């Protein structure tokens, strides 16, 4: 009989169509080899309802709290009165909290695994003698600080408040939990610098990529005119760093590309595009797809994948996936953080408008695209196998009996 583990995630970790779900599901499956998992999570996208049964079949028990985004965005404002971060109160649910307390009291799990800082308040101030592991992924407080630096007026005040509140929560996690894990060495090292007393409890666990799924030899019928130069960005399009990236590319970089390549197209592939992102489709050559069932056909036929992120934390799955598909990727320095790839031979790094446009034009007109794509695929195969990456958790999560 396996020991029990309580796994908390801010969203249902299925389907694995976005970065946070991919990592959560991979960790869940890795831990399931040793534990009977009791999963508690929230759902703020009705489309995910179709996948509840799939996830439930993998669990010993599961509680899904359904929240309505428009309502949650209003009710989370109570954090202004309670002193909590709004990004934490957004994910608070009384029924889920009651379920968590029942699991802790009656099931008595050996381990609590929490995915994202927003879910940690569910297990703080709760008696528990087992191990608490929190996968922070990125340093969220630094993300809010970056948002504040680029905002004005009321939003600047809100972002600065989130920065302070999430910083305080991260300090509590460092003091009260056994392990805090991050998606890259850079994030882990920064956390150690910010909280030197927590250095021994900080762990770096990089993402991997599914090499077999993202296979360039697969059959992917083209979904756009492949006789033209095509550049592709994939990601969740209501995520502010992604939205900022495509707006920057479409309005500043793409016009320079079109000056040299008038037939060039830019495909923004991902669900929940904001109104600002949707408006980019009015630009000649720019296409906004919304939700798609499979990003591979878009990447497979692209001249290059682009990741022009100006606000970036942790590892970008979009970059690893394009590399696995043997596509050249043009990235900013921030988008390459945590990825062990050689600039110039396995990816192309460009941080200015002119340099980014020049790199894209060069890939469309020169011989480098195929060579860089092959090297990128080789790097993905050699360095980003999921099982190897997640084995970093073994020291803290592998039960003694499983090691015998």
Q: What is the mean pLDDT of each run of 10 residues along the chain (404 residues)?
A: 96 89 95 97 92 96 95 93 94 97 96 97 92 95 92 95 96 94 92 89 94 96 97 94 97 98 98 96 98 95 97 88 98 93 97 98 95 97 92 92 62
pLDDT value, residue 403: 56
The β-bridge partners of 180 are: 134, 202
Q: Are 356 and 300 in contact (CB under 8 A)?
A: no
In 3-state terms, what secondary structure has residue 290? strand
Q: What predicted TM-score, i.e. pTM, was given to this entire model?
A: 0.84
- Measured CA to CA, the distance from residue 244 to residue 311 in angstroms comes to 8
pLDDT value, residue 287: 98
Domains within the chain, CATH numbers bracketed: 4-208+386-403 (3.40.50.2000), 230-383 (3.40.50.2000)
pLDDT value, residue 205: 95
pLDDT value, residue 381: 95
pLDDT value, residue 197: 84
pLDDT value, residue 382: 93
Tokens 């590309």 found at: 257
- Measured CA to CA, the distance from residue 402 to residue 404 in angstroms comes to 6
**b/e map of 238-247 (b: 16 or more CB within 10 Å)?**
ebebbbbbbb
- Measured CA to CA, the distance from residue 281 to residue 286 in angstroms comes to 5
The β-bridge partners of 111 are: 5, 131
- Measured CA to CA, the distance from residue 140 to residue 317 in angstroms comes to 17
Helix (H) or strand (E) holding 190: helix 185-194
């Amino acid at each position: 009989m396996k020991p029990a583990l309580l796994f908390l995630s801010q969203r249902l970790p299925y389907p694995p169509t976005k970065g946070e779900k991919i990592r959560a599901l991979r960790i869940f499956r890795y831990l399931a080899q040793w534990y009977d998992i009791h999963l508690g999570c929230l759902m703020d996208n009705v489309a995910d309802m179709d996948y509840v049964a799939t996830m439930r079949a993998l669990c010993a028990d599961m509680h899904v709290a359904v929240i309505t985004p428009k309502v949650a965005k209003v009710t989370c404002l109570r954090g202004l009165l309670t002193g909590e971060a709004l990004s934490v109160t957004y994910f608070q649910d009384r029924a889920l909290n009651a379920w968590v307390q029942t699991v802790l009291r009656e099931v008595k799990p050996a381990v609590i695994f929490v995915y994202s800082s927003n879910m940690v308040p569910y297990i703080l101030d709760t008696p528990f003698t087992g191990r608490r592991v929190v996968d922070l992924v990125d340093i969220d407080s630094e993300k809010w600080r970056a948002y504040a630096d680029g905002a004005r007026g009321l939003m600047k005040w809100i972002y600065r408040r989130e920065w302070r509140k999430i910083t305080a929560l991260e300090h509590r996690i460092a003091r009260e939990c056994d392990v805090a894990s991050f998606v890259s060495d850079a994030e882990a090292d920064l956390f150690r610098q910010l909280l030197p007393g927590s250095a021994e409890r900080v762990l770096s666990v990089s993402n991997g990529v599914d090499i077999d799924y993202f296979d360039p030899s697969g059959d992917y019928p083209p979904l756009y005119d492949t006789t033209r130069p095509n550049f592709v960005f994939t990601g969740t399009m209501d995520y502010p760093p992604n939205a900022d990236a495509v707006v920057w590319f479409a309005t500043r970089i793409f016009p320079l590309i079109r000056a040299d390549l008038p037939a060039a197209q830019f495909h923004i592939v991902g669900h929940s595009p904001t109104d600002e992102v949707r408006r980019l489709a009015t630009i000649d050559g720019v296409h906004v797809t919304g939700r798609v069932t499979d990003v591979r056909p878009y990447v497979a036929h692209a001249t290059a994948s682009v990741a022009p992120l100006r606000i970036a934390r942790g590892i970008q799955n979009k970059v690893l996936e394009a590399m696995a598909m043997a596509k050249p990727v043009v990235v900013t320095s921030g988008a390459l953080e945590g990825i062990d790839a050689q600039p110039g031979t396995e990816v192309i790094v460009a941080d200015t408008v002119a340099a980014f446009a020049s790199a894209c034009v060069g890939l469309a007109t020169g011989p480098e695209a195929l060579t860089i794509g092959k090297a990128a695929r080789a790097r993905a195969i050699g360095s980003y196998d999921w099982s190897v990456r997640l084995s970093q958790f073994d020291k803290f999560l592998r039960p003694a009996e499983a090691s015998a």
